[in-house]
Structure 1
Amino acid sequence: MKYDDIVVPDTAACRLALEVATEFHSPSLLNHSIRAYLFAAAHGQGHGIGFDAELLYVASMLHDIGLTREFDSHTVPFEEAGGHVAWVFGAGAGWPAERRRRAAEVIIRHMWDAADVPEDDPEGRLLELSTAMDISGRQTGEIPEPLRSEVLARHPRLDLVKEFAACMTEQGARKPDSIAAGFVRGGIADKLAGNPLNS
């Protein structure tokens, strides 16, 4: 599979989600969000997994919006804050309530253990996998070449290792019961630094 084989939906909601991500994310987090979609869609297409490309794209662009200064929450984990943003975004995009709820679910579930994401949520399972690939390096060997090289060339990792480790550490310190805190205790910084995608 090559870069141009990946289906990138061209809808108003997708264009606006990219605009929001570009406005509020750092360059490193923006590229991470784009890679998250590309790796998720490539895996779905390559393994014959049916998925809603628009829903997956919007969730990918907004899945880390709760880490940004503007949308950080001191009361809920960042993935829940991001889910709330996605619900509001979906309302603005004219999505029905059920589709807004699905966008929020996909974002929240990207932080779950893979085994806990329901089988009937392909978008949630794909985003969980693709973010794990890009952050902790899980199953990166399944990303086909030359797709891996082209994605990294077009959307480089920049300062993701340092920046994301700092975000998780800060989130974990303020929200010790969050999944992010568990990731910190589990050595997310070392996993980030050792991710094969860095080289």
Structure 2
Amino acid sequence: MRYRTGSTRHSGPVLIFHQSRRVFFFASLHARELGLQPDPELLYISAMFHDTGLSTPFSDVEQRFELDGADHARKFLLDRGFSKSEAEVVWTAIALHTTPGIPARMDPVTAATNYGVLTDVVGWGLDRLDGGQVDEIISAHPRGQFKKGFLQAFVDGLENRPDTTYGTLNSDVLEHFIPGFRRKTMVERVIDAPWPN
């Protein structure tokens, strides 16, 4: 039996749109607070594309949803005349947005995108942001039943490619919501490797 949240399933694109806009605004606030100076246009594109790989696979190969979104964003930018280096900044920000610890040590767009995602999804740094500004963001881009809808978007986007969650936080979602799903651990991968010892 799959995890279902009722009407939030049908509002997936709207939920992801509002979440992506909140990510941009939270990322911008954190960047200002931390003295980062990300290119605002590249930050916006990173935020708007960061979860697109959940809803529509953009590749012919099975890969992490982050890479689907990153590849799609890079193509979008290159098709519109952005430089290869600009497209790579956005690609990196999206590809690493769920990776703990690394984005904060990278360029301002990658770091800020990650901070915005962390704030919107798990409340990271929320206590450091101006409450009035947070209220304005939520008023313009309401959360609604975000927790249920967001988790459902992950289940829907990953259940048909569960092996792509290896080594990521994404496996937590599938383990929690899909009965019988169990991720293969690193220890099992080493022991099961085709080497004799």
- Asked if Structure 1 and Structure 2 have the same fold, meaning a TM-score greater than 0.5 normalized by the shorter chain, the answer is yes
User: Percent of aligned pairs with the same residue?
Assistant: 23
Structure 2's unaligned 5+ residue stretches are 1-11, 178-197
Q: How does 1:71-82 map to 2 (within 5 A)?
A: 71=58, 75-82=62-69
**Matching of residue 91 in structure 1 with residue 81 in structure 2:** no
Q: Distance in 2 between matches of 1:133 and 1:73?
A: 32
- Output one character per residue of 1:38-75: Cα deviation in whole Å (capped at 9) or x when no partner: 00001111222121111111111111111123648760
CA distance, structure 1, for counterparts of residue 64 and residue 82 of structure 2: 24
The TM-score normalised by the length of structure 2 is: 0.74
Say which SS state the counterpart of residue 176 (structure 1) adopts.
helix
| Structure with bigger RCO (C-alpha 8 Å, 6+ apart) | 2
Q: Which residue of 1 aligns with 2:152?
A: 166
Structure exhibiting the larger radius of gyration computed from Cα positions? 2
TM-score using structure 1 length: 0.73
Map 1:3-152; keep pairs closer than 5 Å: 26-69=13-56, 71=58, 75-113=62-100, 115-117=101-103, 119-152=105-138
- Corresponding residue of 1:181: 170
The 1:80–1:74 alpha-carbon spacing in structure 2 relative to 1, beyond 3 Å, is same
Which sits farther off after the overlay, 139-148 or 163-172?
Answer: 163-172
Q: For residues 71 and 160 of structure 1, what CA distance do their matches in structure 2 show?
A: 24
Partner Cα distance (1:33, 1:171) in 2: 16
Q: Distance in 1 between matches of 2:13 and 2:59?
A: 14
Counterpart position of 1:16: none
Q: Which amino acid aligns with 2:118?
A: A
Matched residue count: 163
CA distance in 2, matches of 1:32, 1:116: 22
**Considering only aligned residues, what root-mean-square deviation do their CA atoms show, in Å?**
2.3
Contact 2:69-2:95 within 8 A present in 1 as well:
yes
Conservation of the 8 A alpha-carbon contact between 2:93 and 2:103: no
Does the 8 A contact of 1:72 with 1:78 survive in 2? Answer: no
Shift of residue 135 of structure 1? 0.9
- CA pair 185-69 structure 1, distance change in 2 beyond 3 A: closer
**Which residue number corresponds to residue 192 of structure 2?**
none
> Following the alignment from structure 1 to structure 2, what is the Cα–Cα distance between the partners of residues 162 and 73?
29
